[in-house]
Amino acid sequence: MARLLEFKKDNWHRNLYDHISNIIYPKINNKRRNIFLTGGNSIKSFYKFWGKQNSFKDLKEIDFYFSDERLVKFNSIHSNYNMTLNTLFKEGIPNDCKLHRIEVEKYSANDAAENYSNIIPQQIDLMIFSLGTDGHIASLFPYSESLKEKDRFFVHSESDSHKFKRVTASPVLIKKANNSLIIVKGKEKKQVMTDILHGSYDKKKYPASLLRKSDWILIT
């Protein structure tokens, strides 16, 4: 059952920060925690806010991963890795934390996906997503072949409606997460969310339906 949380736009950064903190603190079983980060414009301002918090700078034993990446150079404005370096990690990666990027420059999309699949941890504590206007998450696009994946954690993805070839988390990996949340900003995306939670359960049409049992964060 999905949990819908409504955060007001003038305070949503703080509310989302508190929500994430409740998930990743305290550390359980003395194991490193693993968090998957999303790309997209909706999350940028939150990453800037989160990265400035003293509690973020003091984080320890957390491994950060990405849910998807475009096949562009690592310093491209279209790179999710580069975006996080300029927002969440602008003041540096916290001590004893690691940022695992998807290395797309040296390899084909399929090889990059396979390489990243090989470093995925057994336990995923949190996956963060943002909702696309067409109902996509990560780079799982409507009616794409990547939605059919049954074995691999990461796969090659592309769409006529979106620029660049991609490497994306598969449905297999998304279902593996202990916690996941999806950010919804804007009237158009709110309508897509409503269709998913109260109407269509068609994962082909709306890949975000994979998160039907997750926390949905509506920014109003």
Query: Where in the chain are the domains?
Result: 3-219
Residue 29 scores a pLDDT above 70: no
Q: Are the C-beta atoms of residues 47 and 35 closer than 8 Å to each other?
A: no
CB 21 within 8 A of CB 33: no
Evaluate whether 128 touches 35 at the Cβ level (below 8 Å): yes
The 3-class secondary structure across the chain, one letter per residue, is: CCEEEEECCCCHHHHHHHHHHHHHCCCCCCCCEEEEECCCHHHHHHHHHHHHCHHHHCCCCEEEEECEEECCCCCCCCCHHHHHHCCCCCCCCCCCCEECCCCCCCCCHHHHHHHHHCCCCCCCCEEEEECCCCCCECCECCCCHHHHCCCCCEEEEEECCEEEEEEEECHHHHCCCCCEEEEEECHHHHHHHHHHHHCCCCCCCCHHHHHCCCEEEEEC
pLDDT over 70, % of the chain: 97
Pairing of strands 154-159, 162-169: antiparallel
Enter the pTM of the model: 0.95
| CATH classification (class only), 3-219 | alpha beta
Task: Kindly indicate the confidence band of residue 28, based on its pLDDT and cuts at 50, 70 and 90.
Answer: low
What pLDDT band is residue 51 in, cutting at 50, 70 and 90? Answer: very high
Condensed to tens digits (0 to 9), the pLDDT of residues 102-137 reads: 999 989 999 999 999 999 999 999 999 999 999 999
